[in-house]
């Protein structure tokens, strides 16, 4: 049996500001070393490991 769904929150919708299409895009100025550091950290990142949903029989993970 599944629990009953939660009721929706009674929060007002957020107001969206008007955006101009010709607005200048300003990017942060980064040094060469900052870019290299960012790229190295991004390359070294690994996603979190997930527990497998099924295990082979006899592995001892769950009682038979």
Q: pLDDT by residue (tens digit) across 1-29?
A: 777 777 777 777 778 777 777 777 667 78
Using the predicted structure, report yes or no on whether residue 34 has a pLDDT greater than 60: yes
Cα separations (Å) of 44 from 28, 31, 37, 39? 23, 20, 11, 9
Contact 55, 61 (CB under 8 A): yes
pTM for the model stands at 0.32
pLDDT at 17: 78
What the block records as the tokens of 26 is 């300003």
N residues, the chain: 64
Q: pLDDT, tens digit, for every residue of 44-62?
A: 888 777 766 666 666 665 5
| C-alpha span between 62 and 53 (Å, rounded) | 12
The tally of CA atoms less than 13 A away on the side-chain side of residue 42 is: 6
């Amino acid at each position: 049996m599944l629990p009953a769904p939660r009721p929706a929150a009674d929060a007002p919708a957020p107001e969206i500001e008007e955006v101009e299409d010709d607005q200048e895009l300003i990017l942060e100025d980064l040094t060469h070393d900052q870019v290299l550091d960012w790229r190295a950290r991004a390359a070294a990142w690994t996603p979190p490991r997930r527990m497998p949903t099924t295990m082979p029989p006899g592995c001892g993970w769950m009682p038979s």
